Amino acid sequence: KQEVTQIPAALSVPEGENLVLNCSFTDSAIYNLQWFRQDPGKGLTSLLLIQSSQREQTSGRLNASLDKSSGRSTLYIAASQPGDSATYLCAPSPYNTNAGKSTFGDGTTLTVKP
Amino acid sequence: ETGVTQTPRHLVMGMTNKKSLKCEQHLGHNAMYWYKQSAKKPLELMFVYSLEERVENNSVPSRFSPECPNSSHLFLHLHTLQPEDSALYLCASSHEMRITGELFFGEGSRLTVL
């Protein structure tokens, strides 16, 4: 059974700082890994999707990397802004099954202070 | 219209009530999912539908009854719920079910059972 751990559970940084969120998973046989953002009481917004054959994906100030063999992914946020404050979740997906079988971590709650 | 729309956003019901949650996706996807998100717990997959056919039921109590009349709409009928069923219910969709792909979520329906 896939287990996903996200460290740290919470992070508070001043505006403008670069930061890294970590995601580790126990079963490296994944098809892809998706990073989401969730604002309080809201749904999940997809940020980046990395296929298992890729090493990284970039979208604006966000960069996600994937090291499948070691069971790790990181989300790098450059020049953080107060609007980045949210909970960030990672979700690796297994092969040959449906997308709903993704296993979600508990998330890292980020607070960016002005 | 945004990709995945859920209504109502907030619902309060008594244990003897019958209510329904609605999800509509405007992405042309063939797979739809219901998730439950409780406080301090990771997302739990409840049901998976592909082309209107239910393909998965993750041991969900019968007081939750899903319905998928077409590939764009998904309902979750609720009856005789318990206070512990209070949670954020999230609907998601993906292009295909069998090919693990990107998940797109709605804003969620916050359910409170009194």
What digits encode the pLDDT tens for the residues A45-58?
999 999 999 999 99
Which residue in B has a C-alpha nearest to residue A97's C-alpha? B98
Identify the pLDDT of residue B100: 67
Which helix or strand (DSSP H or E) is residue A34 part of? strand A30-38
Task: Provide the shortest C-alpha distance from residue B90 to chain A (in Å).
Answer: 7
Cross-chain residue pair A99–B110, CB shorter than 8 Å: no
**Percent of residues, chain B, with pLDDT higher than 90:** 66
Which residues is B81 bridged to in the sheet?
none
Confidence category of residue B99, pLDDT binned at 50, 70, 90:
low
Q: How many residues does chain B have?
A: 114
Side-chain-facing half-sphere of A104: CA atoms under 13 Å = 23
CB A57 within 8 A of CB A35: no
Residues in A touching B102 (Cβ below 8 Å): 32, 34, 46, 49, 99
Q: Which of A102-106, B28-32, B55-59, B81-85 bottoms out in mean pLDDT, i.e. has the lowest?
A: B55-59
CB A49 within 8 A of CB A34: yes
Residue B1, pLDDT > 70, answer: no
If we measure between CA atoms, which residue out of A47, A54, A60, A61 comes closest to residue A108?
Answer: A47
Cross-chain residue pair B100–A32, CB shorter than 8 Å: yes
Residue B92, pLDDT > 90, answer: yes
pLDDT tens digits for B8-58? 999 999 888 899 999 999 999 999 999 999 987 889 999 988 877 777 777
Cβ burial, residue B40 (10 Å; 0-12/13-18/19+): exposed
Cross-chain residue pair B31–A99, CB shorter than 8 Å: yes
* Pairing status of strand A108-113 against strand B31-37: unpaired
Question: What are phi and psi for residue B91, nearest 5 degrees?
Answer: -105, 145
If we measure between CA atoms, which residue out of B97, B113, B101 comes closest to residue B38?
Answer: B113
Mutation for B interface: A3, A30, A44, A96, most B CBs within 10 A: A44
Identify the pLDDT of residue B79: 92
Cα–Cα distance measured from residue B45 to residue B54, given in angstroms and rounded to the nearest whole number: 13
